[in-house]
A and B are shown apart, each in its own frame.
Chain A
Amino acid sequence: MDWQALRLSVWLALATALILLPLGVLAGRWLAGSRHPLRPLAEALLALPLVLPPTVLGYYLLVAMGGASPLGQLYQQLTGQTLAFSFSGLLLASLIFNIPFALMPMQRAFEAIPAELYDAARSCGLSPWRTLWHIELPLAWRGILSGLIMTAAHTLGEFGVVLMVGGSIPGETKTIAISIYDRVQGFDMQAAGLMSATLLTVSLATLLSTAWLTRRRGPGPRG
């Protein structure tokens, strides 16, 4: 059992979900309310990681973060470390391929809030910030929580992108999914089986707890 890899994966999942939380709320809210002509384009771009093969994302990330790219060079000058094959690089990759998983449930939750409520809030003189805090978040929290948990669960299971940009460095980029693959490659089926069972249990527990946390108590129209 590779505890270091599991710890790394959990840490990556938490960091990804927490960073995407404010971004997802703001972007989801804007997309839900916007009539901007560029909104369909923005939606399509943000949903791309959902349909692109992880290898395509991995390829572009490898090129974008490599030592020959401006981003890779800038990072190396600032930190003295390489961006590719580092935890920061993996986190950046993870943030990008998780955007739709965080954003979509949050956007749907904001879209479900009736327009009259916004009108009522405005006529009561509530600022946009107070509207978000007192009206929208109490109504949309289930979607936001689902987005968070989907993001974390998806990060735990991500394999293709990590295989392409990670480099399997223990404690840095060797996630639990990569560790399982390495154990199978090394003909250590027992360790692979144990880690797979662990990941299966964690994933199932995560999804069950989401269902339990977001269950609706009693009958009601929504919310």
Chain B
Amino acid sequence: MNLPLFQTLFQTLARRLFGILAAVLLMPAQAQPTIAAASDLKFALDEIAAAFQASSGQAVKLVYGSSGNFYRQIAQGAPFELFLSADEDFVFKLADQGLTPDRGRLYAIGRIVLFIPKGSPVPVDTAFEPQLVQLRRALGEGRVLKFAIANPDHAPYGRAAMEALKSLDLWAAIQPRLVLGENVSQAAQFAVSGSTQAGIFAYSLALAPQFSRAGNAVLIPETLHQPLRQRMVLTRKAGAVAEAFHAYLQQPAARAVFVRHGFALPGER
């Protein structure tokens, strides 16, 4: 057997294969920047990204998850080019470590809702105050067995829910009945599953058809909890497309989508 010829052939073949593989794997990654976004943005950002693609012809890859996880991943060198956090502290922490060129900018203020799923023994009402009266009565009569919120230890929306319940003097009554979602999406999922009688989660999720169909949501007054200041920041890995998307997110068209999905807009720019 001609060994050198075999080796050359094998090397050529391997190089070809590797080239094709690399092309397949890297091409879309180079063209589409990966963007990390808090899970409360799911519906709003899908829409904004589609509009961005329609107007610019460029696509972005959106990954939704918990802001704390994304913070950890970016600090460990994850290839995200833009980070939309549900909690501005994570952005500040990245900036303090020199992982971002600046301290980012506010893009939205999150709101929370009190949600009563269909079939719950709590009678529904379309306004907050009467709905609260119904909830208090149901709690007093022991008709609320489980109440879903996101985990207040690490989820910003869970923290806001806890603050609101404490402001309303309901925390002591509801705490033994809490079911904690790992993030705000899971809390919403628990609340609509029919296994809980009520819950608190993001207004942006409650407006989506799959949740609004499943029950009744009333907006909780902003004064009852600390504001959910959502901040975004480009990382040092950001390319031209990520920068263009970042700029697009501050345009009136994108801001209108945020408003339609239940976010308040920051006063300061």
Contact = CB atoms under 8 A, between A and B. Distances in A.
Given A82-B145, A182-B154, A185-B151, A62 B182 contact: no
Interface in B170-202: 178-182, 190, 193-196
B194 A182 contact: no
Interface in B99-154: 119, 145-146, 148, 151, 153-154
A81 interface: yes
Contacts of A169: 178-180
B66 A185 contact: yes
Q: Interface centre among A83, A163, A182, A185, by most B CB within 10 Å?
A: A185
A67 interface: yes
B171 to A, nearest CB: 15
A181 B151 CA distance: 12
A82 B146 contact: yes
A67 B153 contact: no
Contact of A84 (B151, B181, B195): B195
Contact of B151 (A62, A81, A168, A187): A168
Given A82-B145, A85-B146, A167-B179, A185 B68 contact: yes
A66 B151 contact: no
Interface in A29-58: none
A168 B180 contact: yes
A143 interface: no
Contacts of A186: 68, 153-154
Contacts of A163: 182
B69 interface: yes
B160 to A, nearest CB: 16
Contacts of A82: 145-146, 195-196
A24 interface: no
Contact of B153 (A65, A80, A83, A182): A182
Which of under 10, 10 to 19, 20 to 34, or 35 or more describes the interface residues of B?
20 to 34
| Interface SS of B by simple majority | loop
Given A85-B146, A185-B154, A167 B66 contact: no
A84 B193 contact: yes
Contacts of A182: 151, 153-154
Nearest to B93: A187
A28 interface: no
Given A67-B195, A85-B196, A185-B66, A167 B190 contact: yes
Given A85-B146, A167-B179, A169-B178, A67 B151 contact: no
A68 interface: yes
A67 B118 CA distance: 11
Contacts of A67: 119, 193-196
Nearest to B193: A66
Contacts of B68: 185-187
Nearest to A76: B145
Contacts of B148: 167
Contacts of B195: 65-67, 72, 82-85
Nearest to A165: B195
19 contacts: A62-B193, A66-B194, A67-B119, A67-B195, A68-B119, A68-B194, A72-B194, A80-B145, A82-B195, A85-B196, A167-B148, A169-B178, A169-B179, A181-B182, A182-B153, A185-B151, A185-B153, A186-B154, A187-B68
Interface of A: 62, 65-68, 72, 80-85, 163, 167-169, 181-182, 185-187
Given A67-B195, A185-B182, 14 more contacts: A62-B193, A66-B194, A81-B145, A82-B146, A84-B193, A85-B179, A85-B195, A167-B179, A168-B179, A182-B151, A185-B66, A185-B68, A185-B69, A186-B153
